[in-house]
Amino acid sequence: MGYEYKAMPDDPADYRRRREALLLQVASLPTFAGRGGPNQVGLDDAPQPLRNRRWGDPVQLWFEPDHVHVLCAGALSEALRVDLRELLRMIGGRYLDDDGEPAAF
């Protein structure tokens, strides 16, 4: 079962200015698994070598114009939860679930 969230920045204009830098900054997270496209990042606590990669990481991030769309494929390890909390610190904001309710990791 999957879950969807939005990481909503407190300052959308600042997020838009820093979006490209944030994509690079996310690459420093311990669970960074690779880029799935120009605005897509995968997180995985047991990433496969690039030659064996498939776009299907446990956490997929889409850096949209005004927020980060977060898709979680199932239960999250503690390492993934730590990095999702760090992502939120990077963008400065809050998580909302698919019903628009506050969420946390």
Domains of the chain, earliest start first = 3-103 (3.30.310)
Greater confidence (53 vs 59) lies with 59
Give yes or no for a contact between 95 and 6, defined as CB atoms under 8 angstroms apart.
Answer: yes
Residue 51 has pLDDT above 50, yes or no: no
Cβ-Cβ contacts under 8 Å for 43 (sequence gap 6 or more): 29, 31, 32, 33, 57, 58, 59, 60, 61, 80, 83, 84
Q: What is the pLDDT of residue 49?
A: 57
CA dihedral 11, 17, 19, 25 (to 10 degrees): -100
Share of the chain above pLDDT 70, in %: 90
Q: Where are the alpha helices (DSSP H) in the chain?
A: 12-26, 78-91
pTM of the model: 0.88
